[in-house]
Structure 1
Amino acid sequence: MRWTLKPKPKPETIASLQETLQVDATVAILLAQRGIETYEAAKKFFRPSLKDLHDPFLMKDMDRAVERIEKALFNNENIMVYGDYDVDGTTSVALMSSYLKTKSNQIATYIPDRYGEGYGVSYQGIDFAHDNGFSLIIALDCGIKAIDKVNYAAEKGIDFIICDHHRPGAELPKAVAVLDPKRDDCEYPFKELCGCGVGFKLIQALASKDGKTVEDLTEYLDLVATAIGADIVPIVDENRALAYFGLQVINAQPRPGIKAIIEETKKKELTITDVVFIVAPRINAAGRMKHGNYAVTLLTETDEKQAKIYASEINEFNLDRREADRRITEEALVQIIENKEQDRLTSVVYHESWHKGVIGIVASRLTETYYRPTLVFTKSGDKLAASARSVSGFDVYNALEACSVHIEQFGGHKYAAGLTLKQENYEAFKQAFEDEVTKTIDRNLLIPEIKVDFQMKLKDITPKFHRILKQFAPFGPSNMTPIFMSEDLKDSGYGKCVGEDDKHLRLTATQGREKIVCIGFNLGDKCDLITDKKPFNAVYSIDENHWQGNVSLQLKLRDIR
């Protein structure tokens, strides 16, 4: 791994923050590294407020979207709320449908089948809307490239409102309204909302017409926070405020569906990391293993007893997902080795029997193993479908765009994308993708990087410092958990490997008279570096250890040398 020390901010910036905030240099450095250089910026950071959210009408087409929905509600039209089958999509559909149901009983939801219809707006979904008398479809977390589908709907007398956050193509669909902050002609101040975030801005705009404020909508923020965590969007600006208050709802008064998931896991207080690794995978498992409708049903259920039944069912899907993920990852790793592809700069693997619902997770696992841009393909109807994952700093979307001559359809983000292609184009695409990555990637990006905020002495790791650190949460992209480095540490002499197959490392690090307990997950193979009190350097985050009612600070080791 590469250890990269972040540049130290200007001394005058650190001094100014110290003076205005009355904090020590370490806190001032952490703030400045996150672009927080004034008292006002620090106040917004440490004390997020829903009043700081932007006016939803700054988003292009918001007025048109509100006008069309108000017309539909006034005329008692049938409205279909349509969304993708992943966490962002299903939370978006739950959010929008439950809000609109407070105004009309003519609201229905539709999640496309991952296997029968594929990603995004489908002709099948439009036919269903037409056959059942729907005159308006609100598409969430999808639709920005559904040009032909929106035209098809228009021919059938169905209007579309699109709420998306993916990159648009050269042409936008001819919908009544296209809400997407990434539109070139959209001047909305914050571009990094998730799909559920765009949906929330729409209900914020609708509510404002009824004289309501954003504080009247806090009951929906558990959904928004879940989507923010799952979709790995930057937790800054609006996302920080939405995640901050959404976590409060999750921990104090979550909707019955989310409450039932949390009760299944026996967790007490959830962080955004817990949402990502505990709540989100269960919601996602419905669309991966069965159907996204199960997730929407759970998230919109108001009866706690029924929600527990649905949560238990979804937990079973998640267990199935884990088993499929483990098996396919093993098979994919074998394929890479057997084909002698360890020296390539990309990993591209395919098997027709792999479960389409888990290929994205498998792509992430392979990226963790070989750390290079990765695609995992499976058979999908008469075509091949793939999930793409990238390494930090490399734009896989641009790489796919450069290979588009071989691709039928693709979409996504810088670090995650999906695509389909004809089977006969697989080998040509695989080579073109390797060639494009070889041509454009900085070789340093193929070595995992740990970005270190700054170097610390163990004596500076105090309960007071940790209390301030906790106020930097919620953590995520653009506001990652602070990582520190300490040099010339020694084990107290009792360090050892722990856990199944001795995978983890546990020790007490000493530096002069100071000592602190450390846990290094998956660092068991580095045990020999600490034996016989050999000096070592470490990068770590500062964590709490809860044991038999006692709370103490510990270091969560990320790497040692």
Structure 2
Amino acid sequence: MRWTIKPKPTQESIDHLSKKLGVDDLVAQLLIQRGITNYEEAKAFFRPELSHLHYPFLMKDMHKAVERIEQAIANDENIMVYGDYDVDGTTSVALMSSYLMETYPNVATYIPDRYMEGYGISFQGIDFAADNDIGLMIALDCGIKAIGQIKYAKEKGIDVIVCDHHRPGEILPDAVAILDPKQKDCKYPYKELCGCGVGFKLIQALGSKQGKTIEDLMLYLDLVATAIAADIVPITGENRVLAYYGLMVINENPRTGIKALIDQTKKRELTITDVVFIVAPRINAAGRMKHGQYAVTLLTENDFEKAKHYASEIELFNTERRSLDKEITEAALVQIQENQEEDRFTSVVYNENWHKGVIGIVASRLTETYYRPTLVFTKSGDKLAASARSVKGFDIYNALEGCSDCLEQFGGHMYAAGLTLLEEQYEAFKNQFEKVVSESIDPELLKPEISVDAKIEMNQITPKLMRILKQFAPFGPGNMTPIFMAEGLKDTGYARGVGEGEKHLKCSLYQTGSNPIGGIGFNLGNKLERVKGIKPFDAVFSLDENEWNGTVTLQLKLRDIR
């Protein structure tokens, strides 16, 4: 792995912030690296306030969207809330539909079938709306590229409001309102909202017209925080405020459906990481294995006994998903090895029988193994569908744009995308994708990178430092868990392999003159002999707390050793 140490700010800037905040140099350095350079910025970082959220009407077309919804309610129209089958889409639909239904009954929800309809607004969904006399459709987490579908809806007499956060194309759909902060002419100050975040801004705008304060809407933030965590958007600026208060709701007063999911896991207090690995996969499993509507039903249910039943169904979907994910990942790794493709810049694999619901997870697993831009294809109707994942620093969306002549459609982000193509285009696409990536990627990006915030001495690691670092949370892109590097370490003689096959490393490390601190290195069991050796070594790690028999101790969460 590449260890990249972030540039250290000037001592003058560290001294200035350290004095203003009454913190030591190390904490000041970490804050400056996160763009925090004065007292006001530090206060906003450590004490997020709901009042820090931006005025929703700054978003382009917000007035139009609110007026059209108010008109629909005044005219007793049927409204359909439409969203994708992933976590961002299903939480968005749950948020918008439950908000509207507080005061207005004529609201239906629609999640497209992953296998029959695919991603985004579907013609089948519009037909469903027309058959059910829908006058207004609110599309969340999708729609920004649905030019033909929205034209079709208009021909059917259905108005569409688009709430999206994906990059727009050159041509925008003919919707009555488009809420997407990534539009070039949108003046909204924060550009990194997830789809559910855009939906929240819409209910914030609607609520302000109905005399509701932001505190009245706080109960919806458990959904927004879940979407922020699952969609891996930056946890900076407005997203930090939404995630901070959303986590508070999840831990203190979650909606019935989320409480039913958490109760199954026996977790007490959830962090953003717990939401990513515990709550999000279960919500996602509904759309992957069965249908996304199961997730919406769970997230909008108010009866706890019913919610427990829905949560147990979703738990079964998640168990099935884990089994398929393991099986397909193993088959995909064999395919790469048999085709002797280890020297390529990309991994592209295909099997017509692979389950479409898990190919995104498999693409992530392959990227972890071979660390290069990866696509996993399966058969979808008469076409091939793929999930794409990238490596840090490489824009896979741009690479797909360079292959667009081979594709039927594609969409997504810098690090994750989805696409479809005709089967006869597969080989041509595979070769072109390899060519585009090989000509544009910096080879250094094909080595996994650990970004180190600061070098640290072991005697700097104290309970006080840990207390301050915990206040840096919630962590995520733009505000990752601080990673430290310590040099000249030795083990006390305690080091051993633990876990199945002894694949994890447990040790107790010190520098000359320091007290030892326990360490755990997941999947670092192969470093055991190195740690037990006579020579000192260096390590990169984050700081963690280990609770055992009611006693909490500091520990190093090891990332790599050399």
AA aligned opposite 2:529: D
Aligned to 2:306: 306
1:409 and 2:399 equivalent?
no
Aligned to 2:195: 195
Aligned to 1:553: 554
Aligned to 1:89: 89
Mapped contact 1:194–1:231 kept (Cα < 8 A): yes
Mapped contact 1:17–1:28 kept (Cα < 8 A): yes
Mapped contact 1:359–1:376 kept (Cα < 8 A): yes
Distance, in Å, in 2 between the alignment partners of 1:5 and 1:213 is 44
AA aligned opposite 2:4: T
Equivalent residues in 2 for 1:284-323, closer than 5 Å: 284-323=284-323
Q: CA deviation at 1:536?
A: 0.9
Aligned to 2:471: 471
Equivalent residues in 2 for 1:73-112, closer than 5 Å: 73-112=73-112
Give a deviation string over 1:414-433, Cα, whole Å, max 9, x none.
00000000000000000000
1:434 and 2:434 equivalent?
yes
For residue 328 of structure 1, give the secondary structure of its aligned residue in structure 2.
helix
- Give me the TM-score of the superposition, normalised by structure 1: 1.00
Distance, in Å, in 2 between the alignment partners of 1:548 and 1:309 is 33
Mapped contact 1:64–1:177 kept (Cα < 8 A): yes
Aligned to 2:531: 530
Q: Which moved more, 1:392-401 or 1:7-16?
A: 7-16
Aligned to 2:324: 324
Distance, in Å, in 2 between the alignment partners of 1:234 and 1:367 is 21
Aligned to 1:128: 128
For residue 81 of structure 1, give the secondary structure of its aligned residue in structure 2.
strand
1:371 and 2:388 equivalent?
no
AA aligned opposite 1:187: K
Distance, in Å, in 1 between the alignment partners of 2:377 and 2:400 is 14
AA aligned opposite 1:181: P
For residue 108 of structure 2, give the secondary structure of its aligned residue in structure 1.
strand
Aligned to 1:147: 147
Aligned to 1:520: 521
Distance, in Å, in 1 between the alignment partners of 2:248 and 2:477 is 20
Distance, in Å, in 1 between the alignment partners of 2:531 and 2:45 is 39
AA aligned opposite 1:522: N
Q: CA deviation at 1:214?
A: 1.1
Mapped contact 1:492–1:533 kept (Cα < 8 A): no
Give a deviation string over 1:517-538, Cα, whole Å, max 9, x none.
0000000011111114431100
Distance, in Å, in 2 between the alignment partners of 1:348 and 1:553 is 42
Q: CA deviation at 1:159?
A: 0.2
For residue 419 of structure 2, give the secondary structure of its aligned residue in structure 1.
strand
Q: CA deviation at 1:470?
A: 0.2
AA aligned opposite 1:488: G
Distance, in Å, in 1 between the alignment partners of 2:520 and 2:251 is 27
1:499 and 2:473 equivalent?
no
For residue 260 of structure 1, give the secondary structure of its aligned residue in structure 2.
helix
1:283 and 2:283 equivalent?
yes
Distance, in Å, in 2 between the alignment partners of 1:10 and 1:388 is 40
Give a deviation string over 1:395-419, Cα, whole Å, max 9, x none.
0000000000000000000000000
Mapped contact 1:493–1:532 kept (Cα < 8 A): no
Q: CA deviation at 1:390?
A: 0.1
Distance, in Å, in 1 between the alignment partners of 2:161 and 2:494 is 62
Q: CA deviation at 1:25?
A: 0.3
For residue 516 of structure 2, give the secondary structure of its aligned residue in structure 1.
strand
Aligned to 1:17: 17
Distance, in Å, in 1 between the alignment partners of 2:343 and 2:501 is 28
Aligned to 1:61: 61
Distance, in Å, in 2 between the alignment partners of 1:71 and 1:533 is 76
Distance, in Å, in 1 between the alignment partners of 2:314 and 2:254 is 17
Q: CA deviation at 1:194?
A: 0.1
Distance, in Å, in 2 between the alignment partners of 1:432 and 1:312 is 44
Distance, in Å, in 2 between the alignment partners of 1:488 and 1:11 is 25
AA aligned opposite 2:73: L
Distance, in Å, in 1 between the alignment partners of 2:506 and 2:515 is 17
Distance, in Å, in 1 between the alignment partners of 2:83 and 2:357 is 16
Q: CA deviation at 1:514?
A: 1.7
Aligned to 2:485: 485
Aligned to 2:540: 539
For residue 419 of structure 1, give the secondary structure of its aligned residue in structure 2.
strand
Distance, in Å, in 1 between the alignment partners of 2:450 and 2:32 is 19
AA aligned opposite 2:32: A
For residue 239 of structure 1, give the secondary structure of its aligned residue in structure 2.
helix
5+ unaligned residues in a row in structure 2: which ranges?
none
Q: CA deviation at 1:511?
A: 1.1
Q: CA deviation at 1:210?
A: 1.0
Aligned to 2:419: 419
For residue 114 of structure 2, give the secondary structure of its aligned residue in structure 1.
coil
RMSD of aligned Cα (Å): 0.6
Aligned to 2:444: 444
AA aligned opposite 1:188: Y
5+ unaligned residues in a row in structure 1: which ranges?
none
Residue 225 and residue 422 in structure 1: after superposition, are their counterparts in 2 closer, same or farther (change >3 A)? same
Aligned to 2:461: 461
AA aligned opposite 2:383: K
Q: CA deviation at 1:277?
A: 0.2
Distance, in Å, in 1 between the alignment partners of 2:231 and 2:130 is 31
Distance, in Å, in 2 between the alignment partners of 1:13 and 1:253 is 41
For residue 201 of structure 1, give the secondary structure of its aligned residue in structure 2.
helix
Distance, in Å, in 2 between the alignment partners of 1:257 and 1:367 is 33
- Give me the TM-score of the superposition, normalised by structure 2: 0.99
Aligned to 1:259: 259
Give a deviation string over 1:535-555, Cα, whole Å, max 9, x none.
110000000000010100000
Equivalent residues in 2 for 1:150-169, closer than 5 Å: 150-169=150-169
For residue 12 of structure 1, give the secondary structure of its aligned residue in structure 2.
helix
Give a deviation string over 1:434-474, Cα, whole Å, max 9, x none.
00000000000000000000111110000001000000000
Distance, in Å, in 1 between the alignment partners of 2:16 and 2:261 is 45
Aligned to 2:244: 244
Distance, in Å, in 2 between the alignment partners of 1:151 and 1:103 is 30
